[in-house]
Structure 1
């Protein structure tokens, strides 16, 4: 006689098996981490500094404890921080790697760049107009020089023709 291990119709394996956490408390849900680094705002920086102060990173232990107590305290802190160490390291990395950009500074820089660009465009137009003026003056001087040369040739040719006529008259 064979044993039938088939599940009743409509039931799946996932319906029968449920996984549970070994911890008596529900797991903490961490906020999703962004894949790409983002610039920190002042609120992010304040939150990170507040969290560091909560964990006692800014304060030093008092000087009246023994070396063993200090070592035990460091171990307790390490055990406490071990769970959040990676998030703290990520926050510290974000603070040290990214440049904090103030929106008002960006606006001021954009205005400055715009002003400098318009000033550059004005100076380029002014230089082009100056070059055109110099070219027209040069053309005018060349025409004047040509006219003076033509006039000089005309007077010298007339003078030589007159001297030829005078000489012919004497002959």
Structure 2
């Protein structure tokens, strides 16, 4: 994937966050924060919570987010989010779902903490879009524990988002699917 393609999928994933956003946003996982801290500097009215399971990743994100008083960092598990129902206006998940060990718990928890009408957006690896990427994931990343099956396809992701949350847009670049959907459902299926 070249730089233009990477920027393309990232722009699509972040398109669910409106310019000048001033609500509550959860990013899970935050990773090192390299993709989002520059954006958060432009959102001083937002209340942003960055969560990651890895204390090491969280420390790197904190370092990148130094001076951002409207951003808090918290260690935690996406499968057991420490927030109340409907706590966030937006949930952002960049490059996380392909690594989450309990994906079903992650789907349920994200649905639970997102308010009705809220936006869920992000991106992650999907199988079946690029044979070379699929091979690398299967032969290198899964055995090392970086990625955890099962993996969605672009089509299965679209169906899951539509059935779980409501209207969804899914776009793929190589083996990465970017998505934006709005929570229109009252109960997790």
Give the TM bin, normalised by the shorter chain: under 0.3
Indicate the structure with greater helix content.
1
Q: TM-score, normalised by structure 2?
A: 0.19
Q: TM-score, normalised by structure 1?
A: 0.21
Indicate the structure with greater strand content.
2
Q: Which gives a bigger RCO, structure 1 or 2 (Cα 8 Å, sep 6+)?
A: 1
Bigger Rg, which one: 1
